[in-house]
Chains A and B, each alone.
Chain A
Amino acid sequence: MHTQTMLDNKQDEVLLRKKELQMKAAKIKIRNLSLQIAVAVIIFGSWELLASNRYIDPFFFSSPGAIINQIKEWIFEGTSQGPLYIHFIVTFEETILSFIIGVVLGVLAGYMLGSNDILAVIFGPYIQMLNALPRVVLAPIFIIWFGLGMPSKIALGVTLTFFIVFFNAFQGVREVDRNLLNNARLLGANKKQLAKHVIIPSALTWILSSLHASFGFALVGVVVGEFIGSTKGLGFLIAQAQGAFNTTGVFAGMVILSITSLLATWGVGKLEKRFVAWRFVRQ
């Protein structure tokens, strides 16, 4: 009986300590979050104040309130170039397509060159050369080849994504642990089984870690393509706003783009967790 109460006391104490620790963790969380919000309030608040009191010229610098109103207007009343969702869908579709095509080509090429020394020696310098080229200069050529529609934007996005994924896939295939390869061979793996059980899973972590960056680059390629020549898309919208000296429109386009990109990064992160479970299931 006596020992039982002592045990209970002990358990109470443990619970109390746990609660205290949880409180501490929550406090730190709240502190960090409120600091983060404070930064946003200070930056956007001072921007708003400076603009509304005309310390800075709203014509050139716009203001957070005006940008929000512009986005609202675009959403509810449509843009001067038709409804907003059409532009959004076009840009999103182009980005997704160039991302997928770029990743598939990059993985295939990376795997081929990574697992074949002769190919790597022959094509290595050419790939380096192409990669050194600032891809933006390809936009005019793609517009001449593929016209003002989607294909030229997708082509530009692909040239950006391809190289990132390619280099990662190549490295991933190259960096496979020699011992693991030898081990699988001793256990009886043929070439196909080696690829399936060792090389691809090992390269997958490299490839997946490149997906974050490459999605961003797909978006960059597409938007730049839209700037240079197009009839639809968010980049086109920003270019139009710029042409009309509508600073607020340019900022509004930027905000929509960054929201899109954030959503995509989040999606890729989810995908990553699904595919490299062995890295994330830590207990």
Chain B
Amino acid sequence: MIELIGASKEFIKPSGEIHTVLNNINLIVGKGEFCSIVGPTGCGKSTTLNLIAGFEQPSKGKVQIQGTQLQGINKHAACVFQTENAFPWKTVIDNVSLGLRLDGVKKEEAYSEARKWIEKVGLKGFEGHYPHQLSGGMRKRVALAQCLITQPEILLMDESFSALDVHTRALMENELLSIWEETSASVIFITHDLEEAIALSDRVIVLTAGPAATIKGDYKIDLERPRNVSEIRFDPQFMKLHEQIWNDLRDEVFISYAHANNA
């Protein structure tokens, strides 16, 4: 269970002014829940994720994981980043087995576990390849395997698929869902794409435009599972939800756009 309690994040700008990124975020994500966070550019989606991952500490309020306050890095989480997860100097199998190896698991054991995960994400035969020899979609598969092999209770995804082309993206989204359904991990999925958020999630959180972003809306997505991401978009219920959330999000996008133009 992830709890953000009155969490705020402030930075001191070089000019000495205080810049508030997040203001008073209260959010509870339950075990096994798939929760997306959407909001206009620069609203602090990634900062929220950084707080949960423990990369950054909140300036006010606190982050609780399984009931205990988070200090330092979050040991229960793994993260698929927007850019690269895979270490370019490691082969696929070394990348995937890294989490276990860091934990002190013996090499053969870690490798055999890694082989299972590599097969699960559909990369069998590529164990000895280096990341630069793989396509963007394949590298995302490596990233997923690398994260899930440690069986994290929390999977963080920071616009993980936004750099992929449309078809690969739909494919990866479906695979993410099918793999996730086998685990009991909570997912925090950061995206600026509302359709992606609705198609994947149990719950969509809308943030207001920054600075000092806070939660504007919290929507339950009670579409049936298992879902097919590319077809669910034609579901009438999906469209209704989309319209409803978009009404909320649109104003924030316009505010953020106006900010950007004034700056």
Chain B window 55-99, contacts with chain A (Cβ cutoff 8 Å), 1 for yes, 0 for no: 100000000000000000111011101011101111100000011
Chain A window 181-208, contacts with chain B (Cβ cutoff 8 Å), 1 for yes, 0 for no: 0111111110001000110011010000
Q: Decide yes or no whether B224 CB sits under 8 A from chain A.
A: no
Known: A187-B146, A193-B102, A281-B130. A182 touches B87 (CB 8 A): no
Which A residues are CB-close (under 8 A) to B85? 179-180, 183
Q: Report whether A198 and B81 are in contact in the complex, using a CB–CB cutoff of 8 Å.
A: no
Known: A186-B73, A202-B89. A283 touches B102 (CB 8 A): no
Q: Decide yes or no whether A76 CB sits under 8 A from chain B.
A: no
Q: Report whether B79 and A182 are in contact in the complex, using a CB–CB cutoff of 8 Å.
A: yes
Q: Decide yes or no whether A55 CB sits under 8 A from chain B.
A: no
Complex CA distance for A182 and B90, rounded to whole angstroms: 17
A179, A183, A278: the one within 8 Å of B89 (CB): A278
Most buried by B among A182, A187, A282: A187
Complex CA distance for A204 and B98, rounded to whole angstroms: 19
Give the size of the chain B interface in residues (CB under 8 angstroms): 26
A-B contact count (CB 8 A): 62
Q: Decide yes or no whether A8 CB sits under 8 A from chain B.
A: no
Q: Report whether B87 and A187 are in contact in the complex, using a CB–CB cutoff of 8 Å.
A: no
B55, B74, B98: the one within 8 Å of A197 (CB): B98
B75, B79, B91: the one within 8 Å of A183 (CB): B79
Which A residues are CB-close (under 8 A) to B108? none
Which B residues are CB-close (under 8 A) to A283? 133
Q: Which residue of B lies closest to A179 (CB)?
A: B81
Which B residues are CB-close (under 8 A) to A197? 87, 90, 98, 102
Chain B window 95-135, contacts with chain A (Cβ cutoff 8 Å), 1 for yes, 0 for no: 00011001100000000000000000000000000101100
Within the complex, what minimum Cβ distance (angstroms) separates B162 from chain A? 14
Q: Decide yes or no whether B150 CB sits under 8 A from chain A.
A: yes
Complex CA distance for A36 and B118, rounded to whole angstroms: 50
Which B residues are CB-close (under 8 A) to A185? 55, 73
Q: Decide yes or no whether B38 CB sits under 8 A from chain A.
A: no
Q: Which residue of A lies closest to B79 (CB)?
A: A186
Complex CA distance for A255 and B247, rounded to whole angstroms: 78
Q: Decide yes or no whether B206 CB sits under 8 A from chain A.
A: no
Complex CA distance for A283 and B134, rounded to whole angstroms: 11
Chain A window 162-185, contacts with chain B (Cβ cutoff 8 Å), 1 for yes, 0 for no: 000000000000000101101111
A177, A182, A278: the one within 8 Å of B130 (CB): A278
Which B residues are CB-close (under 8 A) to A193? 102
Question: Which residues of chain B in 185-238 are interfacial with respect to chain A, using CB atoms and an 8 Å cutoff?
Answer: none
Q: Report whether B87 and A198 are in contact in the complex, using a CB–CB cutoff of 8 Å.
A: yes
Which A residues are CB-close (under 8 A) to B99? 187-188
Within the complex, what minimum Cβ distance (angstroms) separates A102 from chain B? 25
Which A residues are CB-close (under 8 A) to B87? 180, 184, 197-198, 201
Which A residues are CB-close (under 8 A) to B83? 177, 179
Within the complex, what minimum Cβ distance (angstroms) separates B127 from chain A? 14
Complex CA distance for A204 and B87, rounded to whole angstroms: 13
Which A residues are CB-close (under 8 A) to B130? 278, 281
Known: A180-B87, A197-B98. A187 touches B150 (CB 8 A): yes
Q: Report whether B133 and A201 are in contact in the complex, using a CB–CB cutoff of 8 Å.
A: no
Which B residues are CB-close (under 8 A) to A180? 84-85, 87
Q: Report whether B53 and A186 are in contact in the complex, using a CB–CB cutoff of 8 Å.
A: yes
Which A residues are CB-close (under 8 A) to B133? 281-283
Complex CA distance for A184 and B55, rounded to whole angstroms: 12
Q: List 27 A-B contacts (CB under 8 A).
A: A177-B83, A177-B84, A179-B83, A180-B84, A180-B85, A180-B87, A182-B81, A183-B79, A183-B85, A184-B98, A186-B53, A186-B73, A186-B77, A186-B78, A187-B78, A188-B75, A188-B103, A189-B102, A198-B87, A201-B87, A201-B89, A276-B89, A278-B89, A278-B90, A278-B130, A278-B132, A283-B133
On A, residues with C-beta under 8 Å from B are 177, 179-180, 182-189, 193, 197-198, 201-202, 204, 276, 278, 281-283
**What 9 A-B pairs are tightest by C-beta distance, nearest first?**
A187-B99, A201-B89, A188-B102, A278-B89, A179-B81, A278-B130, A185-B73, A189-B102, A183-B85
Known A179-B84, A183-B146; 6 more pairs at CB < 8 Å: A177-B84, A180-B87, A204-B89, A276-B89, A278-B91, A282-B133
